[in-house]
Amino acid sequence: VLDGGFLQGFTGGERPPYSINLVLTPFSLLILFLVHTLSFLLSIHLLIRGVPEPTTKFVPLFILNILGVSGIILTGDLFNLFVFLEILSISSVSLIGFMRDGKGLEGGLKYLIVGGVGSSLYLLAVIILYKYTGTLNMADVGMRIGEVPEGMRQFVMLLIIAGLGVEAEIFPFNMWVPDAYQGADTRVTTLLASITSKAGMFGLVRVLFTVLGAGMNILLYLGVITFVISELMALKTKNIKRVLAYSSMGQAGLAMIAFGINTAASIAAGMLLMINHAVSKFVMFGSIEVLTDRFRLDDIKGIGLKFPVPAWSFLLATLSLLGFPFFIGFWVKLNLIFSLKPYLLVPVLLIFAVEIAYYTRILWTMFSGEAKMGKTLAGSSAVLLIGVVIVIALAFVYPYILNLSVKGTSELLFRGLYIYRVLGGGL
């Protein structure tokens, strides 16, 4: 896989499409390694910080969430993607409302409603594709997609974008995100922002590129709208968790812009944006969780001077997210800028400036004045330091990550490659 090959497992002794299969490709390896590394670090953080009570309920939900993420990334079957999507959604709803407070239950309910509608729309798309192609295997449906009438293909494409767009956090299917991120326990928010959302992005990109071979222009336009609206909302928001939620939505939009441009350079940039965002938000939400129980901007005044380790961890992760030199974010955003269509260059750069503005406001507040309150827990900063090391190390291993992401672009740009390798020559 590291050399651009595919690794496949299937049931029943029969090759796909006559069996259920799991497929590991360069793209899926990149994202799978990312989410499992972060989930491992989050598990350690939970052990140090304390697992929310009752642990007998929280731990299975946490494991189910990671199972759902892993299944979405690995599955080669459209219906099984729906199954893993349901596992992910149910566990996420339960985790968001786990503390049983008003805001958590409100956020969980909003996600439940929007996610339920999204899952239903995706399932309808799968049913339509099965009706016309007689198969559920992604590669096989991709090979037979021409059997679906053009108008119906367009309808299916819209259903899939709407269905998976909920988990990918793109407009207009992301209205649940700020309330869910704010209402959930910050340890759960860390999971949602750095791990769970990446499954939605991956699933949407996989189905559009590999199965349908269409929808990139819509992805581009929705990405632009998501990026602009989310970053402007972050600028006017005073609650730190909501700011980071809008920022996550904006980064999802930026990644969709990269994938929607649909060139080798832009797709590679999209993959790297997912990595940079996941690692940065892991450290940022983890830092906030260690620093404070209150999340208004005024509540973090001077807190960085009182608790330097988590505060500096937040600072370094922010610099990587913003694309400052010496961080992987710099190279990722530089690659994206060179890939942008001319008419997108000025708007994207202006929104980059907006992003810098609201993060500067947070950092200035965090490192100035006298702290009114704050919290720490012995050992909690250890995982943050590991996260910071990863943030810094990514810049040094960037050529290797870029090399793997470039291999991953081939399976998306040339969907016949995925189809051929999964079906063993195109059955």
Domain boundaries, the chain: 7-423
What are the backbone dihedrals phi and psi of residue 169, each rounded to the nearest 5 degrees, phi first?
65, 40
Select the more confidently predicted residue: 255 or 385. Answer: 255
pTM comes to 0.88
Ranges of H-type helices in 262-397: 264-291, 303-306, 308-322, 328-339, 342-366, 380-396
Which two three-digit tokens encode residue 147? 């059997």
Does residue 124 register a pLDDT over 90?
A: yes
What confidence score (pLDDT) does residue 341 get?
83
> Of the ranges 224-238, 347-361, 408-422, which one carries the lowest mean pLDDT score?
408-422
The CA distance from 246 to 262, in Å, is 25
By the 10 Å C-beta count (0-12 exposed, 13-18 middle, 19+ buried), 353 is classed as: exposed
Give the mean model confidence (pLDDT) for residues 261-272: 90
Give the pLDDT confidence score for residue 426 in this predicted structure.
Answer: 41
Q: How far is CA 407 from CA 42, 86, 215, in A?
A: 29, 30, 22
- Work out the average pLDDT over 400-419: 85
Percent of the chain at pLDDT exceeding 90: 35
Q: What is the pLDDT of residue 331?
A: 86
Closest by CA position to 165, among listed 230, 114, 234:
114
Give me the helices (H) in 340-376, please.
342-366
pLDDT value, residue 378: 46
Token representation of residue 63: 């494991």
